[in-house]
Structure 1
Amino acid sequence: MAPDPAPAAHPLLDVLTARGSRADRLLHSRTFPARPARHAEWPAWADDPLVAGYRALGVDRPWTHQVTAADAAWRGEHVALASSTGSGKSLAFWLPALTAVRATRAASQDDRHRIESSSRPGTVLYLSPTKALAADQLAALSRLLDAAGTRDVRATTCDGDTPPDERRWVQDHADVVLTNPDFLHFALLPGHRRWSRLLRGLRYVVVDEGHAYRGVFGAHVALVLRRLARLAEHYGGTAPTFVVASATTAEPAVSVARLLGTVPDAVTEVRDDGSPAGRRTVVLWQPPEITGPAFERSDGAADDASDPWTLPDPLDPAANESDAVLTTEGKAEHPRRSATAEVADLLADLAAHGARTLAFTRSRRGAESVAQQVRDHLRPVSTELAARVAAYRGGYLPEERRELERALRTGELLGLATTNALELGVDISGLDAVLVAGWPGTRMSLWQQAGRAGRAGADGLVAFVAREDPLDTYLVTHPEAVFDAPLEATVFDPGNPYVLAPQLCAAAQEVPVRAEELARFGEPDRVREVLGVLVARGLLRRRPSGWYWTHAQPAAAMADLRGAGGQPVRVVEATTGRLLGTVDASSADGQVHDGAVYVHQGATYVVDHLDLTDHVALVARRDVDHATWSRDVMEISLEEPGDPDHPAPEGSRPPQQRAWGPITWGLGPVEVTSQVVSFQRRRIPDMQVLDTEALDLPSRTLGTTAVWWSVPDHVLRAAGVDDDATPGALHAAEHAAIGLLPLLATCDRWDLGGVSTAQHPDTGEATVFVYDAYPGGAGFAERGFELAERWVRATRDAVAACPCAAGCPACVQSPKCGNDNSPLDKAASVRVLDALLRHAPGSDQATEPVPTVPARP
């Protein structure tokens, strides 16, 4: 969409800028004009009662993209529908799907007395990445069916929370089942004989929010969908038609083809959005630097500790995500006000002016923090107004979430601080403003969140508020990277052996895998290789007719769909037994260790005991004056092919090398071993370190994929980096590189990890590793390897352009560093990055590059 050449100022800009007093924080704005609706006629094949139902709900005529997608789906073509938030994607898939269900039901009723009849009622499976979205879709679907006056379509949700009696009814009677990939993988497909009626009649599979299926999760879902299609065919049904709906994305047909295991030409791409949109003003906002005596005392304490609006946000350490990073002496260097504190201020002002606003945060604790700060800010003005602000996040009970959604729709709530749980398709429309606290990871996510403002034809205001982070700083100072750069392609790799191996086991347990169907799961030679590894390990048995699962335990349990790396840890209040929430296994050691402070709905709890055997953290409700930050140590090693302790690398792609003159780039499997060794208590709100306590937790090993570059000593010396400066130079370059890789891949820095060392034992040289923080890898490191020069150049430019003297959170300090951001040498890191670029292919000093070939580093 082209920007409005002469936009009038959005009326809420005065609120954001506090009538000019905060104008210096607004670095750039762009106004996009309203988009008129383009309508089409209802298709001739559409079921008349359904059309009447849509009309009764206010849809007199559909939009053009809805009809284009619905027509393609009705013809039996797989569809990739990529359009904006609020563009009515659900009509595009429900119209053909429900028409098919009603038509086949009528045909089967007419033919029920004919013995030779093969008619059977059609069924539909709807998949969403969250239970909340499935529930929201069911509510909308029920409204449509009621408006249509139809009583012959039985639609329901079914997931892990569905009681056995209800689940049996769904198996026997439901025409439309709304669920999620997890239930499909763990319950429906392994128990396919009980679901044979649904599978035999399966006409359509709707995959909603398709852009959410990336990385390890996307790779797993791709193979789950292929298992689903395989079983539908096994029961004699026709091959189902897949409709994948997503936010606007790059190459949607390519992504959907990879998801389904087909070719892009077999997918009809629909991205010409015919829905109306209101005028939208998007601003890039940078919180101010914090100066003055509050951050000049040697002990790190603030002179004015009563003012939480000028200090780092203590309640949002999502993986230690504090925006003002302290040095080892406890003093903040070049801090800016935290994005969460800034967003809380803006949300309070917008709510006070009656603007309905969503504030997206990076973490559950961030949502709690923003909501609490806004309520505290508004309470002296009006207790009634303060009560109209709330938090929304995963971990709440479903009825709590539904009530919050209802209250926001009706206007009872004016402000809602939320995680990306509301980025997905839950129907929240007509909002005045959206605030985004920190880069959400991708441009797709940013525009998906921004789409909540100005829907239903109204004007909207969106503010992206930068954290003090290399990527955020780069983006708000390079607006073209936000507004003009193409959207990212969705990255996932179904051939990842850590994904493919357990999925093949699951498929073999369902129905033995035959040689003629290997192409369904990927490149046949690669699939055969992984099957050979599984046979060698005794997980599968090879027979002339195929590969068989012969064990009593369920094969589906081998696969971790969400890539969390183990069973989540439940956070339980010890005195009452009340479940407060869950924490991913990979994060539990750092977030709910003994003594950690855990925040839930504004209340603080202290962890009394973390039981890793039973996966539970027992907490006690306590009011404390501190928060906690953990510290970990880490090492990385290149994996040897054929290591008997790790099955997946044997089926993995071989390592690759590329030479930039004397500098070596590598891509391949690695093992990352980490251990949380201690934590700090820091007083709130002045962040003074109170004490440090050692922890005795086990080490954890992650097998994944990394990209790395190794630099010989003579290159470092020529760049003016001596032995003393090398650790700090590499460490700073590593942090900045992790921060900038999301410019090139569909990830954010929390999907990545890194290690740097002055001499790595496996390479024999100074080496920087950046790895995917998921078992087996997620495709992000591979993207960095492919675009190495662009990546290094963006990293170098971001560090060199930062005005700080010695390094700050906007360039080389990391909010997730396990070594307290020490040592760091900003100036030396620029010299190292310059040295890399001097030897890059095409530069004056570069030697002829070695082609990319499989090799052992």
Structure 2
Amino acid sequence: MSGQPITGGEIEHVNNNGVQNGRVAIPEWLARDPAVVHVDHRAAVAGQQAPWPRWLPSRCVESIRSGGIERPWLHQVRVAELVHDHRHVAVCTPTASGKTLGYLMPIMAATLGAIQPCATLGATQPGANRRASAPSRQRQLSARAALGLSARPTALYLAPTKALAHDQQRVARSLGPAGWQVSALDGDSDPAERRLAREQASFVLTNPDMLHHSILPHHARWSRLLGSLGVVVVDEAHRYRGVFGAQVACVLRRLRRLCALYGADPVFVISSATASEAGASGAALIGEDGAVAVVDEDTSPHPARDVVLWRPQTETGTESARLMARLVDAGCQTIAFVASRAGSEVMAVRARELLHSASAIRSYRSGYLAQDRRMIEQDLQNGSVRGVCATNALELGVDITGMDAVLICGFPGTLAAMWQQAGRAGRGDHDALVVIFQRDDPLDAYLFDHPDLIFRAPVEKTVLFPHNPHVLGPQLAAAAQESPLASQDSRWFGPSMAGLCDGLCAAGLLRRRPTGWFWPRPERAVDAIDLRGTGGKPLDIVEDGPGTVIGQVSLEDADRTVFPGAVYLHQGEHYLVDEMLPDQRQALVHRERPGYVTQPRTLTQAHLMREDAHQAFGCTRMSVGDIELSTQVIGYLRRDEWSGQVWDENPLDLPVHTMVTKGVWWTVPHQLARRLEMTAVDLGNAAHAVEHTAIGLLPAFAPCDRWDIGGVSMVVHPDTGACTVIVHDGQPGGSGFARRGFEVADRWMGATLDRLTNCSCANGCPACIVSPKCGNANQHLDKDAGRTLLAAVLGRN
């Protein structure tokens, strides 16, 4: 049945609501729908258990059993044995496979017991499979003793979100013995909670931001934790990609360096439900030259799962809202993942209007206040909310188990994100129903035409460049403030360290001494580093009159979402933006539904600064290197709320934002343009069409989505003197995605030509050349000319 649409005749004992014995099967009405183009079926599988590790104390076994786990799965024991043997390990098994217990067992054994027999954590022992010699082990113990540090190991857990760290704290407390000191630490922790984590906790759960801003700069206060650190768990490791991944990789190198100064050598567990080449990616993340063991065989039981590809016959948002309402009416608890904040709000409103029951459907996205998010999470867990329309803010962070169905409204950019979202359905003994809706998008159309690229392809390799000088330079300054850098620290930061340090000296940010490089300034170096590239403290969105803060938006996104005159959606309510006050970190809004939505218009210019490399590309050449981008929101369109018809355009006078990033570009030779007999207007429209389609398809070859990248095309670019197409990273310094496009140029551009050639539309549509993020509202596009141009460049016409 794999890979075939399921007809109603293949489903037995399923009523019209699709509910059988409390489980979801594919409803007959869904199976018969002409929008269903493909179904991938996974049969239920049984689990394979293993004995408890012999070194695990009996009180730990008893506490885990009292938490409802009678015996571990085989892969959990494999992870535990590797960690206990002090080997770095990447565990890559699906959502709900029990990765947590795999690393909790050795952490419990070490942090609850005496240094023997579990001393392999925190300081290495001799042996064929261990990473340090006996003399090295003795030096580490002597260093800790000289500093007056405890011999009992500690452990650290890092999650990309606060919510996930708190959820893991709950799991650890439920499985661990009484008296085990487990503490969550984040920016919301009060002084007593911080003191507990610093002075008493054996297992501290936090996030990279807290490690970067608070623990490492004040490492002397945290010497008890760092000097005895035995295990570091890096959870949801696939999230650490691009610039954010490079920043976290540098933070982990700073952590390892300080641990070594205090005499500790922690073993790392890199955990992800979705990763490709997990060992190599994990090694790049933590800065390890040696091998990282990989556990990727899932031995836990799983229910049956059906993944349905749904090609809408009408508007995607309408059909997805209708399906959600029908599933919720049938008693199925359902999560719909939506690409945008506004989309999640609109879908929740539409689905509620279509319900025939009194079930609750909510929206969930970033920008909500913390207490509002926690309330929705709690209501979803206790079942009082039967449906939620969420952005990827709910993709991880809370343990929402046993969902009946997951709707994915448009391919979320990467296979890793798709399987992460799909993993919310069918946990425990609940069979899984996942429906993926094709969005009007080149990538979605391409994948739905080639479903094996979804169901038979490995997830994307993580793109990570921790040696990006825009990232590593400031991180070296932070490391130097923590403890002066010496030449041997290239062990942690790589061979480019010395040159970057000398450059920082020339800029007055470091000072060279015979023993190394020092931080000479009074301010904190870490405060100049924004790990997530969000522009610092967000803007509060304040409702005028009551003065209530209804949400938040990053400074980076403010110009495009809360500009004066914008329509802002929040939990189904419409607001008009009266003022944006970035200096005060506020946007003032009032409640009003004007009957239209707003779309910003941006102007982008790109200066080609430096070429890193080039290669032959058809009859021309493709280059990759540094570019300087200047972007400005210059106005906005008002579109009818229901039809999308443009009412008018309104100018705005907002500041110009400039950044240096990485881009890939190619030019159209003058002789080719003459041979094609295209006018300047035709050539510009063709290049613009190719640019849009290429941006839409790069996520098929790199772990990004179209919002991580951008593009510029010009009939005559001032730096090349020719028609030029540019695709660039969306983060300062580059994210690695443009470089990846350069590496796979032939396949990437071949897929671009295929989409321009085979899209069934007449003159261009969102499935090929129309982009939701076009700065000039998708004007000046020509699909046929774009196909002709790219085919000529590639020599395929």
- Please, what TM-score do these two structures have when normalized by structure 2? 0.92
Q: How does 1:821-832 map to 2 (within 5 A)?
A: 821-832=778-789
- Give 2:277's match in structure 1, choosing from 251, 272, 289: 251
Q: Provide closer, same or farther for how the CA distance between residues 698 and 402 of structure 1 changes in structure 2, counting only shifts above 3 A.
A: closer
- 1:275-316, Cα deviation, whole Å (9 max, x unpaired): 111111111111114xxxxxxxxxxxxxxxxxxxxxxxxxxx
- Give 2:508's match in structure 1, choosing from 533, 538, 542: 538
Decide whether the 8 Å contact of 1:729 with 1:832 is kept in 2. Answer: yes
CA distance in 1, matches of 2:509, 2:547: 39
Decide whether the 8 Å contact of 1:156 with 1:177 is kept in 2. Answer: yes
Q: Provide closer, same or farther for how the CA distance between residues 721 and 457 of structure 1 changes in structure 2, counting only shifts above 3 A.
A: farther
Match in the other structure for 2:40: 30
- 1:105-144, Cα deviation, whole Å (9 max, x unpaired): 7999xx9xxx999752321111100011111111111212
Per the TM alignment, residue 584 of structure 1 is displaced from its structure 2 partner at its CA by 2.3
Task: Report how many residues are paired.
Answer: 761
**Over aligned residue pairs, what C-alpha RMSD do you find?**
2.4
Question: In the alignment, residue 45 of structure 2 is paired with which amino acid?
Answer: R
Match in the other structure for 2:23: none
Q: How does 1:107-126 map to 2 (within 5 A)?
A: 120-126=151-157
- 1:530-567, Cα deviation, whole Å (9 max, x unpaired): 22221111111111111111111110112111123454
CA distance in 2, matches of 1:19, 1:440: 26
Match in the other structure for 2:489: 517
CA distance in 1, matches of 2:567, 2:697: 31
CA distance in 1, matches of 2:116, 2:619: 72
Match in the other structure for 2:129: none
Match in the other structure for 2:534: 564
CA distance in 2, matches of 1:240, 1:759: 55
Per the TM alignment, residue 776 of structure 1 is displaced from its structure 2 partner at its CA by 0.6
- 1:32-53, Cα deviation, whole Å (9 max, x unpaired): 1112111111100112112111
Decide whether the 8 Å contact of 1:213 with 1:221 is kept in 2. Answer: yes
Q: Provide closer, same or farther for how the CA distance between residues 9 and 707 of structure 1 changes in structure 2, counting only shifts above 3 A.
A: farther
CA distance in 2, matches of 1:433, 1:447: 14
Match in the other structure for 2:258: 231
Per the TM alignment, residue 27 of structure 1 is displaced from its structure 2 partner at its CA by 1.2
**Does residue 275 of the first structure (1) align with residue 245 of the second (2)?**
no
CA distance in 1, matches of 2:215, 2:639: 48
- SS at structure 1 position matched to 2:424: coil
Question: In the alignment, residue 156 of structure 1 is paired with which amino acid?
Answer: S
- 1:620-656, Cα deviation, whole Å (9 max, x unpaired): 223332221110111100125xxxxxxxxxxxxx611
- Give 2:400's match in structure 1, choosing from 428, 431, 435: 428
Structure 2 gaps, min length 5: 19-25, 119-140
**Does residue 138 of the first structure (1) align with residue 138 of the second (2)?**
no
Structure 1 gaps, min length 5: 290-336, 641-653, 840-844, 846-857
Q: How does 1:121-520 map to 2 (within 5 A)?
A: 121-145=152-176, 148=177, 150-151=178-179, 153-236=180-263, 238-263=264-289, 265-289=290-314, 337=315, 339-378=316-355, 381-382=356-357, 384-385=358-359, 388-424=360-396, 426-520=398-492
Q: Provide closer, same or farther for how the CA distance between residues 577 and 166 of structure 1 changes in structure 2, counting only shifts above 3 A.
A: farther
CA distance in 2, matches of 1:669, 1:565: 21
- 1:818-844, Cα deviation, whole Å (9 max, x unpaired): 1111101101111111123228xxxxx
Question: In the alignment, residue 681 of structure 1 is paired with which amino acid?
Answer: R
- 1:54-78, Cα deviation, whole Å (9 max, x unpaired): 2122211111111111110011111
Per the TM alignment, residue 373 of structure 1 is displaced from its structure 2 partner at its CA by 1.5
Q: Provide closer, same or farther for how the CA distance between residues 574 and 118 of structure 1 changes in structure 2, counting only shifts above 3 A.
A: closer
Decide whether the 8 Å contact of 1:216 with 1:778 is kept in 2. Answer: yes
Decide whether the 8 Å contact of 1:27 with 1:477 is kept in 2. Answer: no
Question: In the alignment, residue 216 of structure 2 is paired with which amino acid?
Answer: L
Q: How does 1:613-692 map to 2 (within 5 A)?
A: 613-639=583-609, 655-660=612-617, 662-692=619-649
CA distance in 2, matches of 1:348, 1:132: 28
Per the TM alignment, residue 412 of structure 1 is displaced from its structure 2 partner at its CA by 2.4
**Does residue 595 of the first structure (1) align with residue 558 of the second (2)?**
no
Per the TM alignment, residue 82 of structure 1 is displaced from its structure 2 partner at its CA by 0.4
- SS at structure 1 position matched to 2:29: coil
- 1:490-545, Cα deviation, whole Å (9 max, x unpaired): 111101111111111111111111111113112x1x22222222111111111111
Q: Provide closer, same or farther for how the CA distance between residues 54 and 2 of structure 1 changes in structure 2, counting only shifts above 3 A.
A: farther
Per the TM alignment, residue 88 of structure 1 is displaced from its structure 2 partner at its CA by 0.7
**Does residue 698 of the first structure (1) align with residue 723 of the second (2)?**
no
CA distance in 1, matches of 2:296, 2:420: 15
CA distance in 2, matches of 1:106, 1:454: 42
Per the TM alignment, residue 694 of structure 1 is displaced from its structure 2 partner at its CA by 1.1
Question: In the alignment, residue 415 of structure 1 is paired with which amino acid?
Answer: G
Decide whether the 8 Å contact of 2:668 with 2:723 is kept in 1. Answer: yes
Match in the other structure for 1:549: 519
- SS at structure 2 position matched to 1:23: coil
CA distance in 1, matches of 2:499, 2:591: 53
- 1:676-699, Cα deviation, whole Å (9 max, x unpaired): 011122232233333322111110
CA distance in 1, matches of 2:633, 2:172: 47
Question: In the alignment, residue 75 of structure 1 is paired with which amino acid?
Answer: D
Q: How does 1:43-82 map to 2 (within 5 A)?
A: 43-82=53-92
CA distance in 2, matches of 1:273, 1:427: 19
Per the TM alignment, residue 5 of structure 1 is displaced from its structure 2 partner at its CA by 12
Question: In the alignment, residue 267 of structure 1 is paired with which amino acid?
Answer: V
**Does residue 758 of the first structure (1) align with residue 715 of the second (2)?**
yes
Decide whether the 8 Å contact of 1:667 with 1:707 is kept in 2. Answer: yes
CA distance in 1, matches of 2:223, 2:762: 66
- 1:64-100, Cα deviation, whole Å (9 max, x unpaired): 1111111100111111000001011110111111211
Match in the other structure for 1:529: 499
Match in the other structure for 1:808: 765
Decide whether the 8 Å contact of 2:95 with 2:273 is kept in 1. Answer: yes
Decide whether the 8 Å contact of 2:686 with 2:789 is kept in 1. Answer: yes
Per the TM alignment, residue 749 of structure 1 is displaced from its structure 2 partner at its CA by 0.4
Q: Provide closer, same or farther for how the CA distance between residues 506 and 277 of structure 1 changes in structure 2, counting only shifts above 3 A.
A: same
CA distance in 2, matches of 1:819, 1:499: 32
CA distance in 2, matches of 1:719, 1:251: 44
CA distance in 2, matches of 1:703, 1:563: 14
CA distance in 2, matches of 1:217, 1:724: 39
- 1:224-245, Cα deviation, whole Å (9 max, x unpaired): 0111111111122x20111111
Decide whether the 8 Å contact of 2:367 with 2:553 is kept in 1. Answer: no
Per the TM alignment, residue 403 of structure 1 is displaced from its structure 2 partner at its CA by 3.5
Decide whether the 8 Å contact of 1:565 with 1:774 is kept in 2. Answer: no
- Please, what TM-score do these two structures have when normalized by structure 1? 0.85
Question: In the alignment, residue 163 of structure 2 is paired with which amino acid?
Answer: A
- SS at structure 2 position matched to 1:192: coil
- Give 1:39's match in structure 2, choosing from 49, 60, 76: 49
CA distance in 1, matches of 2:793, 2:528: 41
- SS at structure 2 position matched to 1:125: strand
CA distance in 1, matches of 2:150, 2:210: 28
Per the TM alignment, residue 421 of structure 1 is displaced from its structure 2 partner at its CA by 2.2
- SS at structure 1 position matched to 2:385: coil
CA distance in 1, matches of 2:262, 2:757: 62
Match in the other structure for 2:132: none
Decide whether the 8 Å contact of 2:184 with 2:205 is kept in 1. Answer: yes
CA distance in 2, matches of 1:12, 1:233: 63
